[in-house]
Amino acid sequence: MKKALVILLALAMVLSLAACGSAPAAPAEEPAAAEDKVYTVGICQLVKHVALDAATQGFKDALTEALGDKVEFVEQIAANDIPTCATIANGFVSDKVDLILANATPALQAAVAATDSIPILGTSVTEYGVALHIDGFNGTVGGNVSGTSDLAPLDQQAAMILELFPDVKKVGIVYCSAEANSVYQSDVVKGELQKAGVTVTVYTFADSNDVAAVTATACDENDVLYIPTDNTAASCTEAINNVAEPAGVPIIAGEEGICAGCGVATLSINYYDLGVTTGKMAAKILTGESNISEMPIEYFPDPVKKYNPAICEALGITVPEDYVAIG
């Protein structure tokens, strides 16, 4: 009996080993290779106008050049409505995008409020410390935020006013009161002009509905107007020019898009190139080459003096030879 039991156990072991040999276990599935990852980038742009459009295009071109078909864009325009920026940003968070481009200050503020984990890059943002209420801002936001700034040197912008209009007595600064970066620019330029003995008056409009009326008042009371980099003003240049040019009041603008629509001159940065810089930053973040928390804000290095030939001719203004015509 015992001998039979031993034989049966031995036979069972042989059959078991044979079964294992004839049906090897399937290999474990390999995780998807990192190079197969397709990154989704959400773009929230405050409003359509030449400068912001150029920054978005430069960003997309640079990131596509770096990652090819491994990146896809979800692009949304907020139609200059701040609550819509929040809706767009929250949607990107819900969709778990890999990175958010916030084009203009309200878009940046909305994205920062929506997430502290998804990387956020700003562009066309003038002053990050002001926009994000950072005391003693040292050039690096930290956390999940970095980006590029469209700030041209404000002291040089004030100097441009004095260069083109050396006899100016009164300058009016016009901007949208809802834009914190415009307030910052206004304060700096106002201080520089006051040092030169110029009387400066600030005029603000709440939105596009009262821009023409505010511009008319400013023209009545001043020799020259200054409009900082301001998204609302940039979307209303035709309305501004329809008032200022007939009044014979020249406008110095904070950026080229505004100058092209209603200004005589500007200290210009290139928004497409600014977007390219932002796109290169995005590629480094998405591929793990750089840590966004350690990336300082980047600035356009060489602003150019530019002028608007049509409005200069209409107002009888001749600019120095080192100014470049806006094409």
Q: Could you read off the pLDDT tens digit of each residue along the chain, which spans 327 residues?
A: 434 434 333 444 433 434 444 444 444 444 444 567 999 999 999 999 889 999 999 999 999 999 999 999 999 999 999 999 999 999 999 999 999 999 999 999 999 999 999 999 999 999 999 999 999 999 999 999 999 999 999 999 999 999 999 999 999 999 999 888 899 999 999 999 999 999 999 999 998 899 999 999 999 999 999 999 998 999 999 999 999 999 999 999 999 999 999 999 999 899 999 999 999 999 999 999 999 999 999 999 889 999 999 999 999 999 999 999 998
CB 307 within 8 A of CB 326: yes
Residues 6+ apart with CB under 8 A from 89: 42, 44, 100, 102, 107, 110, 111, 113, 114, 115
Residue 217 to residue 246: CA distance in whole angstroms? 13
Label residue 167 exposed, middle or buried (CB < 10 Å: 0-12, 13-18, 19+).
Answer: exposed
Q: Where would I find the H helices in the chain?
A: 2-22, 50-67, 82-94, 105-114, 128-131, 154-164, 180-195, 211-221, 231-234, 237-247, 256-262, 271-286, 309-315
Q: Got the DSSP string for 276-303?
A: HHHHHHHHHHHTTSS-GGGPPPEE-S--
CB 104 within 8 A of CB 44: no
Q: Is the pTM of this model over 0.75?
A: yes
Residue 235: DSSP 8-state: T
